[in-house]
Structure formats: structure tokens, C-alpha cells
Copies of this chain bind each other. A is one copy, B any other.
Amino acid sequence: MLTLFSEHGYFATSVQDISSESGVSVGSIYHHFGDKEGIARSLYHALSDQMSSRISWISARQGTAHDQCREIVKTLFEMAEEEPLVMDFMLYAKHKEFLPEEKSICSSKPFELMRTIVAAGMESGEIRRMDVMVASTSLFGGPIRMIVARLDDVLQAPLPHYLDEVWECAWKSVAT
């Protein structure tokens, strides 16, 4: 299901395709999900929750904002390598096209968690005082762009290879 959506896209994937691949009949699929959008919505929520829990697990461990954010970037890089299709679906799919009422990825839970950590970092004095949104995009925008590049196959080495260099840049951008 994820494979079909990520590789061919939502619109190029028919419910018949999903039925064939999953071994579940078309009728059952509609019984469970209501309509085609329901399939995507269900998948999106599952993946979003999975991502959120990984991030909140990181932020739950004690540590500075610096360490937490670095760990998040590291985790995102690892996820992108291990499960590129998940990353692709979360980042690159234009959810607006087939999940119109869904909140945009920017304001989804994983990104909100990141902003919370950034705000805490400002309180503690690790991060310069500025607009929280600006700080968040500065800190994570570079890494995310690297992930997109990797998913688009315009990067030679795996992401972890660039981690130190990427993180140094990211942190310098907001550090006090």
C-alpha cells in the first residue's frame, strides 16, 4: 500500500491495485476505509504517529536542546535510509491533493514537537532569541533539504555520511 502510493503516487494507484497487492478484496477495502481517501488518511495517520513517537521519545530523554535536535536529525537521516518510502510519503507527497482537510505537514505533530524543543532551547539560552518558526526552519530546513535530495537520488553517499557537516551548519545558524 505504502509502496504503491510512494512509488506510483496516489492517483496512479487504483483500489484494484491495492486489492491485488494486499490480497484483500475490493469490497473489504471499501468496507473498512469508506472510500479511497480513507485509505490514504489511515496510512498518513499511522506514519505520522510513528514519527511523532520517535521524536517525543528523543525529547523525553534528558539532554540539552542541542543534543535533542541533533538526535532528531540523526534519527530522520536513519529513517530516510531505512524506510525511504515512509519518508517520501510524509515529506514529498503533496497531501493537499488527496487529503485536503488534513493539516499541512508543517503544522503536523512531528513538526510541532520540534518547535517545542526549539522554544525550550531559547529559554535555556542555548539558542538565540528570535521567531520560533525562523529558528525551527533554520535548524531543520537544511537537513530536510538533504533528505529530499537523497530521496531524489541526487546524493552520492548515504545521509549519515553527511551528518556531522550538516549538523555543524544547522547548529551554527541558531546557536548563541
User: Could you tell me which A residues sit within 8 Å of B by CB distance?
Assistant: 9-12, 92-94, 96-97, 104-107, 130-131, 133-135, 137-146, 148-149, 152-155, 162, 165-166, 169-170, 172-174
Contact = CB atoms under 8 A, between A and B. Distances in A.
Nearest to A153: B104
28 contacts: A9-B97, A10-B97, A12-B97, A92-B96, A93-B94, A94-B97, A104-B153, A130-B165, A131-B162, A131-B165, A133-B146, A133-B155, A133-B162, A134-B162, A134-B165, A134-B166, A137-B142, A137-B145, A138-B169, A138-B173, A140-B145, A141-B141, A142-B142, A142-B173, A169-B173, A170-B173, A172-B172, A173-B173
Can you tell how many copies of this chain the complex includes?
Answer: 2
A interface SS class: helix
A97 B92 CA distance: 10
Contacts of A144: 141, 145
A105 to B, nearest CB: 8
Contacts of A153: 104
A107 B152 contact: yes
Residue of A10, A104, A134, A154 with highest tally of chain B CB at under 10 A: A134
A158 B165 CA distance: 31
A158 to B, nearest CB: 13
